Amino acid sequence: MVTIYEVPAAILNKEVASELKNIDELKPPAWASFVKTGVFREKAPTNPNWWYVRLASLLRKVYINGPIGVNRLRIKYGGRLRKGNRREHFRKGAGKIIRLGLQQLEALGFIEKPNDTSGRTLSAKGRSFMDRAANKILKQLKK
CATH architecture of 4-142: Orthogonal Bundle (1.10)
DSSP state of 33: G
**Tell me, what's the pLDDT at 21?**
93
Cβ atoms 38, 91 nearer than 8 A: yes
**Burial (0-12, 13-18, 19+ Cβ within 10 Å), 81:** middle
Mean local confidence (pLDDT), 63-84: 91
**Tell me, what's the pLDDT at 56?**
95
**Tell me, what's the pLDDT at 95?**
92
In 3D space, the residue among 37, 66, 41, 67 whose CA is nearest the CA of residue 53 turns out to be: 37
pLDDT for 92-108, tens place per residue?
A: 999 999 999 999 999 99
The chain-wide mean pLDDT, for the chain, equals 90
DSSP state of 120: B
27 backbone φψ class: left, alpha, beta (φ>0; ψ -120 to 50): beta
pTM: 0.90
Cβ atoms 106, 121 nearer than 8 A: no
Cβ atoms 81, 40 nearer than 8 A: yes
